Chain A
Amino acid sequence: MRRSAADLLSALTRDDSTRILATLIRLTGDITLAEDALQDAMVKALSTWDSTGIPDTPRAWVIVTARRCAVDRIRREARRTDKEASAMALFDDGDDPPESVVRDDLLRLVFTCCHPSLSLDARVALSLKTLGGLTTAEVAGALLVPEATMAKRLTRTKQKIAQAHIPYRVPPDAELPDRLPAVLATVYLIFNEGYAASSGDLAVRSHLVDEAIRLARLLCELMPDEASVIGLLALVLLQDSRRSARVDKDGALVLLADQDRSLWDHENIVEGVRLVGKALQRSPDRPDSYGLQAAIAACHALAPSYVDTDWPAIVSWYDVLTTVADTPVVRLNRAAAIAERDGPPAGLAEMDGIDGLDDYPYWHASRADLLDRLGRRSEAAKAFDRALTLRLNVSHSEYLRRRR
């Protein structure tokens, strides 16, 4: 019986491919060459496994084959003669490198893809491609960029890595505080692109949420002692635990206050809350902003209902958060929590005191909500209208139109 290509390649998980790619990049010192060689090996696997059946150790088979393909490519391209040495390294490295080597290869890849000398857009695209194992078309689709544009962005990024000699290396501990934020920001942006989806179809983009969680888990495995990494995983798990409740059956947005909490993902909440504790324990002197945001998400996740939420605790967490990340958006969220704790007038006064959010739709939407609750309907309508003129995703716009 002939098996489909998908069946054959499912013997190899996406994690396997990422790990193989990471090792190939170290050995060849060239991301594009490594990607091409892995692609060659996948094509060979398809044609070979179709007749021989899937080997006992498909990963080892692909590793060995991908290395041969890399060597073939190096030899075919005359201009790579200086890389004959790396061709040899491909054979000297053993068939299936031990777990500790693969871990380091993955970490190297993380820090290369998220190097601060690359733009955030470039980091996001490259991380989704190499660490996430998405195709260029998938990355383009998820980030709402034409495929040709994305292909160019990826090429330029890989060129910069090669031409500027961005090293394929895990930074020493002393440099981690400088380097880790770029990594975490990349993963969190991927999450938010999917979760807050500033435009486009929410369902399509939830793919990005899964990718971000997968990457956050990978970082946690690779750097199990970093408080900010643990905090980031906690944060994305807790926010995502509300996924099924955030949109109703017609695709319309449901706000936190109106969500059916029985739809929340209990497993994610349990894991997220446990991780929040761990993250905060590891950074008692200077809590990390991801851990603090996760603590706030945990307060929501553990509340039996919106009314019975521990708003004083949430306001306190926001107070701490403003000491490490004093941004207008954090202040807005704090003001919204104050409105719940002390009533809409107090919240509105806080919101009106925040500068720099005139172009931020959620500032106008939050003000509109409080004005509406205070019975100041015409002011509320004006604020809703202003929010609607700014960049919002479809579900949010529809929600505001209903409220309007």
Chain B
Amino acid sequence: MPQYLALTYTADVDWSHPDQAAQMVEYREFSAAAAAVIRGGAVLYPTATATTVRASNKGGDVVSTDGPYAETKEALTGFYLLDCADLDEALAWAAQVPAAWGGAVEVRPVIPLGS
């Protein structure tokens, strides 16, 4: 079955902060409703905690910079890995991710590796 990554782009909030409790309840409700298709996922700390790493070449000099890869108004704040029959099903689930309102959810098909 095809897999899709649903990336949540929202305000760069701290999900671990009590202020976000109400939002987290919505996410838990989504997770429960979509349990049958969710293969994995994560909620991320704010982009202030991010470090972006580049190497000059394989095994070469490493340069780490503070902050996320892309500085945008809405930040990557989490993701779900979904098992869906096709894109329509994935989009239908993505529309129910709380980030879909107030933010956006990017749906990307996952390349099947191995056999």
* B-facing residues in A160-176 (Cβ within 8 Å): 163-167, 169, 171
B-side contacts of A117, CB under 8 Å: 87, 91
Q: How far is the CB of B2 from chain A (nearest CB, A)?
A: 5
* A-facing residues in B55-82 (Cβ within 8 Å): none
Q: How many residues of B contact A (CB 8 A)?
A: 8
A-side contacts of B86, CB under 8 Å: 165-167, 169
Are B2 and A165 in touch, CB under 8 angstroms?
Answer: yes
B-side contacts of A166, CB under 8 Å: 86-88
Bound-complex Cα distance A107 to B21 (A): 46
Q: How far is the CB of B96 from chain A (nearest CB, A)?
A: 15
* A-B CB pair tally, cutoff 8 Å: 22
Residue in chain B with minimal CB distance to A116: B91
Q: How far is the CB of A78 from chain B (nearest CB, A)?
A: 14
1/0 per residue, CB under 8 A from B, across A338-352: the answer is 000000000000000
**Which of these, B87, B109, B111, contacts A167 with CB under 8 Å?**
B87
B-side contacts of A165, CB under 8 Å: 2, 85-87, 109
Are B88 and A164 in touch, CB under 8 angstroms?
Answer: no
Q: How many residues of A contact B (CB 8 A)?
A: 9
A-side contacts of B87, CB under 8 Å: 115, 117, 164-167
Residue in chain B with minimal CB distance to A171: B88
Bound-complex Cα distance A43 to B65 (A): 59
Q: How far is the CB of A159 from chain B (nearest CB, A)?
A: 11
A-side contacts of B88, CB under 8 Å: 166-167, 169, 171
Bound-complex Cα distance A112 to B88 (A): 11
Q: How far is the CB of B89 from chain A (nearest CB, A)?
A: 8
Residue in chain A with minimal CB distance to B88: A167
A-side contacts of B2, CB under 8 Å: 165
1/0 per residue, CB under 8 A from A, across B36-68: the answer is 000000000000000000000000000000000
* B-facing residues in A343-376 (Cβ within 8 Å): none
B-side contacts of A169, CB under 8 Å: 86, 88
Q: How far is the CB of B22 from chain A (nearest CB, A)?
A: 29
1/0 per residue, CB under 8 A from B, across A162-197: the answer is 011111010100000000000000000000000000
Residue in chain A with minimal CB distance to B115: A82
* B-facing residues in A114-129 (Cβ within 8 Å): 115, 117
Q: How far is the CB of A179 from chain B (nearest CB, A)?
A: 9
The CB with the most chain A CB atoms within 10 A, among B2, B86, B87, B91, is that of B87
Bound-complex Cα distance A169 to B87 (A): 11
1/0 per residue, CB under 8 A from A, across B91-102: the answer is 100000000000
Residue in chain B with minimal CB distance to A172: B88
Q: How far is the CB of B21 from chain A (nearest CB, A)?
A: 33
Residue in chain B with minimal CB distance to A82: B115
Bound-complex Cα distance A117 to B109 (A): 12
Bound-complex Cα distance A167 to B92 (A): 13
Bound-complex Cα distance A167 to B109 (A): 13
B-side contacts of A163, CB under 8 Å: 109, 111
Q: How far is the CB of B42 from chain A (nearest CB, A)?
A: 22
B-side contacts of A164, CB under 8 Å: 87, 109
Bound-complex Cα distance A115 to B88 (A): 10
The CB with the most chain B CB atoms within 10 A, among A117, A165, A166, A169, is that of A165
Q: Besides A117-B91, A165-B86, 8 other CB < 8 A contacts? A: A163-B111, A164-B109, A165-B85, A165-B109, A166-B88, A167-B85, A169-B86, A169-B88
Can you identify 17 A-B contacts, CB atoms within 8 angstroms?
A115-B87, A117-B87, A163-B109, A163-B111, A164-B87, A164-B109, A165-B85, A165-B86, A165-B87, A165-B109, A166-B86, A166-B87, A166-B88, A167-B85, A167-B86, A167-B88, A169-B88
Residues of A within 8 A of B (CB): 115, 117, 163-167, 169, 171
Residues of B within 8 A of A (CB): 2, 85-88, 91, 109, 111
The 3 closest A-B pairs by CB, nearest first: A167-B86, A165-B86, A164-B109
